[in-house]
With several copies, the nearest count.
Chain A
Amino acid sequence: MAEQLESFRKETRDWLEANCPPEMRQPVRDEGDVYWGGRNATFKNDAQKQWFEACRDKGYTVPDWPKEYGGAGLSPAEAKVLRQEMAAINARPPLSSFGIWMLGPALLHFGTEGQKQRFLNEIARGEIRWCQGYSEPGSGSDLVSMQTFGEDKGDHWVVNGQKIWTSYADEADWIFCLVRTDKDDKYKGITFMLFDMASDGVSTKPIKLISGNSPFCETFMDDVKVPKSYGEDVPGYVGEINRGWDVAKYLLGHEREMISATGGGDRATSLGAATSRQGELDPVLRAQMALFDIDALSFTAMSEKFMDELKAGKGHPAQPNMLKYAGTELNKRRNELMMSAGGSTALEWESEETSGGKTARGWLRTKANSIEGGTSEVMLNVIAKRILELPGA
């Protein structure tokens, strides 16, 4: 077993050596370095193309998915080895996509064989770029109160409504979208639909954030026709009609885990050590930094502990909520302190010295951490109810 893994590690190392171009062995600096795939995708340079294609052909865009759906069929242990070896050479992800992170897991769990064959392969091969249609202006934390409605027309629905916070809706090919199909049942009246963003009646509008331009959009649906089927065994929805909330909940849990996994920022480094390099720290600020570092290092330990427990099947289902709550609050505090340490330089919004206000924009962007993927308040509600079993509403 351990021997097999070691031989896999050796193979992987060799394969990476042969296939990952030097340009792809550098940290992602900006959005331009990310390859999202899709119908209209272009490569930034040859290295990006070469790296993507090598991974695609090997199944390494989604290494732990089964081979028949475009993955490499790696075991969890093998997938971990691959991650470690890629990290060791700073290899960039060959393909980023909400298809991989969100829709894929939902289809693997709820999809029909036909859906998996078609959509998972498209995702794995970077052919179709997906976006997500969950929140609505009136339905944030209370997601299930959403109003976008699909009228049943026999073999299709006619969908009307508005979604918000659809990341990259303006660049995505298809959307997975929560649509109300029964107005009488709040929870059992939602269908998890899949449709082409090029359909008649779909339009998008980018949302500018306090941190500047953003990938988020508003998405408007005006008499959009969504087929109930895209061919044999390929329904136009995931799971059952009117039971899309089950799929949505499954994905929300998944999303919170993902967000919490990145919470707390770069955990390996001491914030105080990093910021003190900019100049001598004010003694009171130094004290706050130290108190922060204590919290951050402790949080990292909890994060590690939960991952270990999760792997061992010992995890509590509400743990991701705690990670998300504590991790995002910590990340906001980290950025407040970074702004303080940076002083007036960190206030600069457009200067070259700050790479266009990177510190300030990053700081403002973290304010969304405790909102997106479930607010801190919702997380606290869940902890109170599901872990502490406190009574009442």
Chain B
Amino acid sequence: MPLYHDDDQAMLADSARQFMAEEGSIKKQLRHWRDRDCKDGFGHALWEQFGEMGFTGILVDEDDGGLGMGHVEAGIVLEEIGRNLTPSPFLTSSVLAATALKHGGDDIKGRYLPGLIEGKSVFSVAIDEGPKHRPETIRTRAEKSGNGFRLTGQKDFVLHGASSDMLVVAARTSGSDDEPEGITLFAVPKDAANMSHDAVRLVDSSMATHTKFDGVELDGDAVIGEVDGGREILNAMLKAGRVGAAAEGVGVAGGAMDMTVDYLKQRKQFGKLIGEFQALQHRAAHLYSEVEIARAVVVKAQQLLDGDSEKADLMSSVAKAKVSQAAGLAVREGVQMHGGIGMTDEYDIGLYMKRDRALSEYLGDAYYHAGRVAELSGY
């Protein structure tokens, strides 16, 4: 498959670009909700519009009422989300949770997918335990209890945790903390007793929770897939999530870069447009190259994932790491080249820096994925 968008994908990109620029703009969404100290960190009305656009069900099979598209298409939406810093539960609901539900039975799909597709339901995923992403270790335990399970433990960095209708929780049903096997995924409804959220606002104004499961009783039908068979689903979720976050990151990088290049063409100092200074030109040109490289590897990883390739795992980590590096460069250069006003809350460039930081950390930072690349490559 050529590494560019086919005609259908280009059409989707056009409509996503237009929609997000109009409805999902920084002014209309991110600043709006942030300045009102919104406890969700995003707008439910916009989420319903996502549903109307069909975005919510991009990765859901047609048989289940979705569009049955792939990660290239999901990435198209995510890149525009990134470019406009649009706050939404798309990544957690339509990518991560949707990937989990793909592995569930008809019953659980029927329970949750219609709400997702309509943009009425918000889903979260609870994977991390502790401040760094280490999905190899799962300590949260689900013990047999009656004909169901009893969930005990704590999850961190649960994006939209307090706003979600259902949380996909990775818990251990057997084995020791570091064992690959023995993981089961549960769909925990928001009204589950003994589940509590400590919601905190993050640097990018999104909301995340430390979520406690203090003996949460779950029916057997809360299990997604098979008992003890969750690791494979979790891996699928992580691959999808990394590639999705990387696509969003390319949007963040591109948005920050475009703002900055525009600024270089407007701001004058020493009687010249600052974009005339060769030192800044070379830095901008280097940045452009890095962003283009990041953009390319994301498409590559998306296609590998859509093609169910063995290389998708490696390339999902490569993509996540590369985007993190390129977007980090984009926002740092962006803020520096904007000079003093880049430091003010009034200008948007700082918002890109904040989002990049949170997104880079989500599902593993560049250092984590570099280690993964080394391990997967056998060194």
Report A-B touching, CB under 8 Å: yes
Docked Cα-Cα span, A270 to B342, in Å, equals 30
Q: Does A347 contact B (CB under 8 A)?
A: yes
Can you give 17 A-B contacts (C-beta < 8 A)?
A140-B269, A270-B377, A279-B130, A282-B367, A293-B318, A305-B4, A322-B289, A339-B357, A344-B132, A345-B156, A346-B131, A349-B201, A364-B203, A372-B340, A375-B336, A377-B277, A388-B281
Flag if A301 contacts B350 (CB, 8 Å): no
Flag if A290 contacts B373 (CB, 8 Å): yes
Closest CB pairs A-B (n = 4): A392-B276, A210-B350, A343-B131, A276-B379
Q: Does B365 contact A (CB under 8 A)?
A: yes
Give the size range of B's interface with the partner.
Answer: 35 or more
Docked Cα-Cα span, A13 to B339, in Å, equals 45
Which listed segment binds A: B25-33, B43-51, B111-119, B292-300?
B292-300
Docked Cα-Cα span, A275 to B315, in Å, equals 20
Flag if A291 contacts B370 (CB, 8 Å): yes
Flag if A276 contacts B378 (CB, 8 Å): yes
Q: Does B343 contact A (CB under 8 A)?
A: yes
Flag if A388 contacts B288 (CB, 8 Å): yes
Q: Which of B2, B271, B282, B296 touches A377 (beta carbons < 8 Å)?
A: B282
The contact string, 1 if C-beta is below 8 Å from chain A, for chain B 126-142, is 00101111000000000
Flag if A281 contacts B340 (CB, 8 Å): no
For the complex with contacts A140-B339, A294-B321, 17 further pairs of A-B residues with Cβ separation under 8 Å are A141-B269, A142-B269, A210-B353, A273-B377, A287-B371, A291-B370, A294-B370, A298-B322, A301-B296, A302-B295, A304-B300, A344-B132, A346-B131, A371-B336, A384-B284, A390-B261, A390-B284
Q: Give the residues from 322 to 353 in chain A that come closer than 8 angstroms, CB to CB, to chain B.
A: 322, 325-326, 332, 336, 339-340, 342-351
Closest to B322 in A: A298
Flag if A272 contacts B296 (CB, 8 Å): no
Docked Cα-Cα span, A390 to B274, in Å, equals 9
Which residues does B use to contact A, with CB under 8 Å? Answer: 2-4, 128, 130-133, 156-157, 200-205, 208, 261, 264-265, 268-273, 275-282, 284-286, 288-290, 292-297, 299-300, 314-315, 318-319, 321-322, 325, 328, 332, 335-336, 339-346, 350-351, 353-354, 357-358, 361, 365-371, 373-374, 377-379
Docked Cα-Cα span, A250 to B314, in Å, equals 39
Given contacts A142-B269, A279-B132, A343-B131, contact A348 B201 (CB under 8 A): yes
Docked Cα-Cα span, A392 to B351, in Å, equals 30
Chain B residues closer than 8 Å to A308, beta-carbon distance: 2-4
Given contacts A294-B322, A360-B203, A368-B343, contact A282 B371 (CB under 8 A): yes
Q: Which of B354, B378, B379 touches A210 (beta carbons < 8 Å)?
A: B354
Chain A residues closer than 8 Å to B319, beta-carbon distance: 298
Docked Cα-Cα span, A10 to B269, in Å, equals 54
Interface core residue of B264, B280, B332, B377 (most chain A CB under 10 Å): B377
Flag if B379 contacts A281 (CB, 8 Å): yes
Flag if B293 contacts A299 (CB, 8 Å): yes
Docked Cα-Cα span, A294 to B365, in Å, equals 13
Chain B residues closer than 8 Å to A278, beta-carbon distance: 131
Given contacts A272-B377, A278-B131, A371-B339, contact A349 B293 (CB under 8 A): no
Compute the total of residue contacts between A and B using a CB distance below 8 Å. Answer: 272
Given contacts A298-B293, A302-B296, A371-B340, contact A377 B361 (CB under 8 A): no
Closest to B287 in A: A388
Flag if A344 contacts B315 (CB, 8 Å): no
Docked Cα-Cα span, A299 to B319, in Å, equals 11
Q: Which of A270, A312, A343, A370 touches B4 (beta carbons < 8 Å)?
A: A312
Flag if A210 contacts B345 (CB, 8 Å): yes
Flag if B270 contacts A208 (CB, 8 Å): no
Docked Cα-Cα span, A336 to B356, in Å, equals 12
Given contacts A208-B344, A364-B353, A384-B282, contact A298 B297 (CB under 8 A): yes
Flag if B353 contacts A344 (CB, 8 Å): no
Closest to A314 in B: B4
Q: Does A86 contact B (CB under 8 A)?
A: no
Chain A residues closer than 8 Å to B367, beta-carbon distance: 282, 284-285, 287-288, 340
Chain A residues closer than 8 Å to B202, beta-carbon distance: 344, 347-349
Flag if B275 contacts A390 (CB, 8 Å): yes
B16, chain A: closest CB distance, angstroms: 19
Chain A residues closer than 8 Å to B368, beta-carbon distance: 282, 284
Docked Cα-Cα span, A302 to B288, in Å, equals 12
Interface core residue of B314, B328, B354 (most chain A CB under 10 Å): B354
Q: Does A376 contact B (CB under 8 A)?
A: yes
Chain B residues closer than 8 Å to A304, beta-carbon distance: 3, 296, 300
Chain B residues closer than 8 Å to A370, beta-carbon distance: 336
